[in-house]
Structure 1
Amino acid sequence: MTSEALPGVSLTLAPRGPEPEPLRTDVAAFLGRFRRGPVGTPVRVESWNDVVDAFGPPPPEGAFATPYALRGFFENGGRTAWALRVSGPAVTARAVWTVGDIGGFAATRYRVVATSPGAWANGVRVAIRHQASTVAGPPTVSLRVTVPGEAPETFSGLPPAGVADLVTGSRYIRLVPDGPAPAPGRPGPISTSWSLTLAGGTDTPPARQEYTDAVTVQSELPEPALVALPDLGTDLSGTVHTDMVLELLGTVFPLLDRLVVLDVPPRLASVDATVEWVESLTATGDSQLLSCAAVYHPLLRTPDGPALRTVPASGHVLGVIARLDAERGAHHTPAGAVILEAVDLAVDLPEPQQVRLFDAGVDLIRCTRGRGLIVWGGRTLSADPRTRYIAHRRLLHLLVRAIRRVATPLVFDVNSPELRLTLVRAITAVLLAAFRAGALAGTRPEQAFRVVCDDTNNPPEQDPGQLVCEIEVAAAVPMEFIRLRLVLGQDRGLEVIEA
Structure 2
Amino acid sequence: MAEYLSPGVYVEEFDSGAQPLEGASTSTAGFMGLAQRGAVEGVPLLVTSMAEFLREFGAHLSENAFGSYRFLAYAVEQFFTNGGSRCYVMRVAPSDAKPAVNTSEESKVLAISAKNPGTWGNQVRLAIAPASKAKTQIYEVLGAPGESKRYRVKNSAGFNPGDIVAFSDDNGKQYNKIISSQDNIIELAEPLEGKEEVVDTQLLPAKVLTTSEFTLHVFNGDESETFEKLSLNVSAPNHVDKILARSNIVTVQDVTVGSDNGIVAPFEVITGADEEAGKYDIVLTDGSDGSIGSLSAGDFIGEDRGPGRRTGIHSFIDNDVVSIMAIPGVTDPNVQLALVAHCENLGSRFAILDIPRDKTKVADVLTHRDIFDSSYCAMYNPWLSVFDPVDKRNIFVPPSGTVAGVYSRSDQTRGVQKAPANEVLRGVVGLDVQYNKGEQDILNPAGVNLIRHFSGQGTRVWGARTCSSNGLWKYINVRRLFIFLEESIKNGTNWVVFEPNTEQLWARVQRTIDAFLTRVWRDGALAGSSSSEAYYINIGPQTMTQDDIDNGRLICVIGVAPVKPAEFVVFRITQKTGSE
Please classify the TM superposition score into its range, dividing by the shorter chain length.
Answer: 0.7 to 0.9
TM-score relative to the length of structure 1: 0.78
> What whole-Å deviation, never above 9, does each CA across 1:157-181 have from its counterpart, x for those lacking one?
8335366665555443233223464
> What whole-Å deviation, never above 9, does each CA across 1:417-445 have from its counterpart, x for those lacking one?
11211211111111011011011111211
Give the partner amino acid of 1:153: E
Task: Report matched runs for 1:289-368 at 5 Å.
Answer: 290-305=374-389, 306-368=392-454
Unaligned runs of 5+ in 1: 1-20, 100-106, 283-289, 480-499
Decide whether aligned partners of structure 1 residues 27 and 39 sit closer, same or farther in structure 2, where only a CA change above 3 A counts.
same
Cα pair 2:130 2:275 within 8 Å, conserved: no
Is the partner of 2:103 in helix, strand or coil?
strand
C-alpha deviation, 1:350, in angstroms? 4.2
Aligned to 1:46: 48
C-alpha deviation, 1:273, in angstroms? 1.6
> What whole-Å deviation, never above 9, does each CA across 1:331-389 have from its counterpart, x for those lacking one?
11111111111211122334433333223311011112223211111111123331111
Aligned-partner Cα distance in 1 for 2:317–2:353: 16
Does 2:370 match 1:272? Answer: no
* Segment drifting more, 185-194 vs 75-84: 185-194
Cα pair 2:102 2:282 within 8 Å, conserved: no
Matched residue count: 432
Aligned to 1:152: 222
Aligned to 1:111: 111
Aligned to 2:286: 199
Aligned to 1:33: 34
C-alpha deviation, 1:267, in angstroms? 4.2
Larger radius of gyration: 2
RMSD, aligned α-carbons: 2.9
Aligned with 1:143 (options 217, 222, 229)? 217
Decide whether aligned partners of structure 1 residues 351 and 111 sit closer, same or farther in structure 2, where only a CA change above 3 A counts.
same
Does 2:471 match 1:370? Answer: no
Does 2:249 match 1:172? Answer: yes
Aligned to 1:67: 73
Aligned to 1:225: 323
Is the partner of 1:245 in helix, strand or coil?
helix
Decide whether aligned partners of structure 1 residues 152 and 198 sit closer, same or farther in structure 2, where only a CA change above 3 A counts.
farther
Aligned-partner Cα distance in 1 for 2:314–2:539: 33
Aligned-partner Cα distance in 1 for 2:342–2:242: 40
Cα pair 2:115 2:251 within 8 Å, conserved: yes
Give the partner amino acid of 2:324: L
Aligned with 1:442 (options 528, 531, 547)? 528
Cα pair 1:144 1:155 within 8 Å, conserved: yes
Unaligned runs of 5+ in 2: 1-21, 133-167, 169-205, 232-237, 269-273, 303-311, 567-580
Aligned to 1:495: none
Decide whether aligned partners of structure 1 residues 160 and 266 sit closer, same or farther in structure 2, where only a CA change above 3 A counts.
same
Aligned with 2:98 (options 91, 95, 98)? 91
Cα pair 1:257 1:396 within 8 Å, conserved: no
C-alpha deviation, 1:219, in angstroms? 3.7
Is the partner of 1:54 in helix, strand or coil?
helix
C-alpha deviation, 1:469, in angstroms? 1.0
> What whole-Å deviation, never above 9, does each CA across 1:234-286 have from its counterpart, x for those lacking one?
xx3xxxx2x4433432332243322111001234353322211111224xxxx
Is the partner of 1:95 in helix, strand or coil?
coil
Decide whether aligned partners of structure 1 residues 175 and 220 sit closer, same or farther in structure 2, where only a CA change above 3 A counts.
closer
C-alpha deviation, 1:127, in angstroms? 4.8
C-alpha deviation, 1:29, in angstroms? 1.1
Aligned-partner Cα distance in 1 for 2:299–2:512: 41
Give the partner amino acid of 2:125: V
Cα pair 2:475 2:564 within 8 Å, conserved: no
Decide whether aligned partners of structure 1 residues 108 and 477 sit closer, same or farther in structure 2, where only a CA change above 3 A counts.
closer
C-alpha deviation, 1:478, in angstroms? 5.4
TM-score relative to the length of structure 2: 0.68
Aligned to 1:55: 57
* Segment drifting more, 26-35 vs 203-212: 203-212
C-alpha deviation, 1:462, in angstroms? 3.7
Aligned-partner Cα distance in 2 for 1:360–1:200: 46
Cα pair 1:22 1:223 within 8 Å, conserved: no
Cα pair 1:399 1:430 within 8 Å, conserved: no
C-alpha deviation, 1:301, in angstroms? 1.1
Cα pair 1:256 1:396 within 8 Å, conserved: no
Task: Report matched runs for 1:410-429 at 5 Å.
Answer: 410-429=496-515
Aligned to 2:544: 458
Cα pair 1:324 1:334 within 8 Å, conserved: yes
Is the partner of 1:472 in helix, strand or coil?
strand
Aligned with 2:264 (options 181, 184, 197)? 184
C-alpha deviation, 1:410, in angstroms? 1.2
Decide whether aligned partners of structure 1 residues 141 and 271 sit closer, same or farther in structure 2, where only a CA change above 3 A counts.
same
Aligned-partner Cα distance in 2 for 1:69–1:426: 39
Decide whether aligned partners of structure 1 residues 52 and 231 sit closer, same or farther in structure 2, where only a CA change above 3 A counts.
same
Cα pair 1:130 1:192 within 8 Å, conserved: yes
Aligned-partner Cα distance in 2 for 1:206–1:330: 36
Cα pair 1:112 1:175 within 8 Å, conserved: yes
Cα pair 2:230 2:243 within 8 Å, conserved: no
Is the partner of 2:77 in helix, strand or coil?
helix
Cα pair 1:94 1:201 within 8 Å, conserved: no
Give the partner amino acid of 1:69: A
Say which structure, 1 or 2, has more relative contact order (CA 8 Å, 6+ apart): 2
